[in-house]
Amino acid sequence: MALVTSRKMFQMAYKNGYAVGAFNVNNMEITQGIIQAISEAKAPLILQISKGAREYASMSYLRAIIDVAVRENPDIPICMHLDHGDSFELCKQCVQDGFTSVMIDGSHLPFEQNVKLTADVVKYAHDHGVVVEGELGQLGGIEEHVVGVDDVSAHLTNPDQAIEFIQKTGVDSLAVAIGTSHGAYKFKTEPKLAFDVIEKIQKKAPGFPLVMHGSSSVLQEFKNLINKYGGKMPDAMGVPEEAITRASKMAVCKVNIDTDLRMALTAKIRQVFAEKPGEFDPRKYLGPGREAIKQMVLHKLKVLGCAGRASECL
């Protein structure tokens, strides 16, 4: 089947209490690892492409890889999503490039400017059958071009503003700030997420899908492997998986995962280089890295509760 929007995915996720994994892709091996897990688990999938990924691999290469994945998995609904679009022009270009979902991130702007920018993107995208994700409130940490705030607790999404934002923009989903943070070094102590923000928005806008950014868990398995084989990530800490599961049973229908993919790939490559220092065949270290991504994604699908849900999202 062809690429789909996330509309049906979010309807079913909200109704049945799970979230769809949105995984960032930068190359063939990462995409293959994700697809292999999704195909095995029969889960719906959102493949995210960031501005950095477009600059690294070029859209033509990434689109070709995704086209193969879609063609080889006709029973899996796959949405191609722009992650953290930062301008109307970029979102417009991605719509023209065949994306089925785009995010416009105006969270750093004053409220009314964010509303106007998001509404402009929504109008253009909807005219072309594409759905739009907006963002209100700000996260911490750093992810590619996105630099967060230092004190996430002071920049949480205001539930009343969120309802006004949804009504004024016509946006299809909303990324909310509830205390998460981008990157591997998210927190100094275990975070306490603001589930009350989700609950208040859910009460005021029942059925409306929310999105969690900065939601990688920085899995200890991969952090330990990286550190064992020469890395230095002693203070890396992510979002507890039980918190992600709890949010997925509420109004959160999409959970973004990027850092965990990078860590899985890097950990296995480091292990191969350490155990086989003479290895020079990329297939011999990228292959194990791809398998590590597959196993990590299979684990995440259980955390999100979306394994086995592909058919209901078609």
**CA angle in degrees (0–180, nearest 5) for 116-136-80:** 85
CB 102 within 8 A of CB 133: yes
Sort 280 into a burial class: Cβ within 10 Å, 0-12 / 13-18 / 19+.
Answer: exposed
Q: What are residue 211's DSSP bridge partners?
A: 175, 254
67, 75, 83, 281: the catalytic one is 83
Of 53, 54, 79, 56, nearest in space to 66 by CA:
79
The H or E element containing residue 165 is: helix 159-169
Half-sphere exposure (Cβ direction) of 16: Cα atoms closer than 13 Å: 18
**Whether 83 is catalytic:** yes
| Token pair recorded at residue 262 | 């990078």
Strand-pair category, 142-143 with 146-147: antiparallel
CA distance 116 to 110: 10
Q: How far is CA 141 from CA 25, 138, 188, in A?
A: 20, 10, 12
Amino acid found at 51: K
Tokens describing residue 274: 């350490």
What CA–CA distance (Å, rounded) separates 230 from 226?
7
Please count the residues of the chain.
Answer: 314
Compute the distance between CA of residue 62 and CA of residue 57 in angstroms, rounded to an integer: 7
Is the CB of residue 183 less than 8 Å from the CB of residue 143? yes
Residues assigned a catalytic role: 83
